[in-house]
Structure 1
Amino acid sequence: MNSPFHLPAGKALGGPYAVDVSPETAGWGFADLRVLELPPGGSHTFDTDESEWIVLPLSGGCTVTAVDEFGRDTFRLDGRDSVFAAVTDFAYVPRDARTTVTSAGGGRFALTGARCTRRLPARHGPASGVPVELRGTGNCSRQVNNFGAAARAGGADGHGFECDRLIAVEVITPGGNWSSFPPHKHDEHRPGEESVLEEIYYFEFEAHDGTPGLGYQRVSPSGRGRGTDVLAEVRDKDVVLVPDGWHGPSMAVPGHHMYYLNVMAGPEPERAWLIRDHPDHAWIRDTWPDRPVDPRLPLYTAPERP
């Protein structure tokens, strides 16, 4: 099924970015994602304009400098070898700042952003402070690195990082497992139950003996918005846009771990991840307490605080 919401690797190129999804290109109001690839000694400068951003190393390390009318902040990010190797530190940079990313060794860096109204201070997010969560059990087991998470249904859960609008997490699904399941949605304002959030999925896969991995992503219409309908074979560096609809499952083929970066933002006055499970599949959550978590997880944990 061809869909305008599935952007295979290379289709979302924009200027200096290997991936460039903006509110303008996505046709929505808030969520941004850029993927910046730098050679050794490379540097890139951009203006944050009306958006807040988290600079997240996917591979390699970098230095991030943000300059605005309030001063200059510089953060050194140790980064990691790959998304399958370790939790990474990151940097938050505010709106209305000129930001420079420089990498001595080169690497690939995600810039996760959201249109916002408040200016919050620039900050370094240490890898040791990233909550690593194991969600689901059995073949629904997955690992969630909550580096930019927000409160979930029922209130704050200790996984929050202060942003104005931006919500971002990493999900690792072991080969053969399903994540984003049961299918869920967040395209309707239902106070205390569901929030309106645009969402971006960016995928990477662990190769096996040089053979690249792949997976499958489903988004089905919820009766709201654009009637988003996606059934896509996703590969390394593909993007799926979710302006509305029931999203899930995300399926990793056996033998290849699947990674995706979720970026979410929306118009809600409260920054919260409030979702509604698909009524046909919500029962699956009730089976999780009776099954063990996949023993392959966690792939890694956050380092201890110094």
Structure 2
Amino acid sequence: MGRALPQEEGAMFLSPRTCLVCHEAKQENLKKCSGCPYATFCSAHPSSCSHDQVCSMINDKYEFQTRLSKLKLSTAAAIQAIVNSTTVHKSLKLPTSVADYLYRYAQTPVTIPEDVKIHTSIYFTKSLTLFNALQKLNYNPRLKMVVYIVAQFTPFHVSVYWEVLLHLLPKLINLKIILFEPPEDLKYTINVCEKCRSKKKTLTLEFVSTSFVEYVKSKSHTKADFVALYNYDPLQEENLFVNTSCKVVKNFDFITCPLLLTTVTEKKAMAASERLRSNLKNCEICYAGKNDFAPIKPEVDWETEGISIPNQFLMVMKPRES
């Protein structure tokens, strides 16, 4: 084709063309949805009430990605520019949402197209949600902080979004992010901005191929100051990532640090709350509610062809004081 496929177009190749309702696969009986380019219906099922509710949003997401693919400024370059523009001033109120951070707080010297700025929120939601959890706990990191990120894929080429924590937390010098269960053990020292280098600040990403439970039970593990479970789904334990997250919840007693947990829907947040209260007797929930640092724009779930907002609900827990 002579160009890279946007995420949405790639998903179309991965997902078979079948009726959204009954999964009829005979192509001569199928017809594309008139409102979006993804849904397909058969002659017996020309529409779907559930799809009608999200059809316009799915089409909006498709048009958004199409515009994004035509822009020259890459997401990685935009993230780097935004991070570099993040400084703490006594006269400047700290960001209260991901939109507030992108539009008011981080004033870049170069103009970032609106669509690119919106797209970066899907990455900044991770680091800024962690910042949000720290704020809710009135938690002041020491010079070093180690964070476990469980069951969350992090593309290396855009992982600089974690650097924003070095900017928003002035006393923090060394930040290590440990991610679990990639194919192999890897360790990267991220090339931080000039201001961070002048203050001898460092950002390290470490990928641990062993399971979370094996790692925290080993004598050689690095102790965590914070644990993050993004988009936890207690309703689908058969899923590999979800199952890993469930193991974390069941084995959290091995850790003596705060935990943040996000979910996509309120229903999953309520189920997660019940699971946490039953499994973590020695912890208290300090916050449970909407996460103001969720992404600006919803994402498409390519398996269900529905719409969801990652990290929409947030729970923050800490061990009870003995």
Q: TM-score, normalised by structure 1?
A: 0.30
Bigger RCO (CA 8 Å, 6+ sep):
1
Give the structure with the higher percent helix: 2
| Larger of the two Rg values belongs to structure | 2
